[in-house]
Amino acid sequence: MTGKLAILASAVSAAGLWFVAQADPLPDLVSDHIRGGEAACGIDVSQTSDGLLLTAWSAPSRTRTWRMVVTQRTGGGGFDIVQEGDVPPGDGAVAVSDLLIDTGADFSARLTAWDANGDPVCRFGDRV
Whole-number pLDDT of residue 127: 54
Residue boundaries of the structural domains of the chain: 2-126
Q: What is the pTM of this model?
A: 0.69
Helix (H) or strand (E) holding 3: helix 2-15
pLDDT along the chain (128 residues), means of 10: 39 37 38 55 93 94 95 88 94 93 87 95 78
What dotted CATH number matches 2-126? 2.60.40.2420
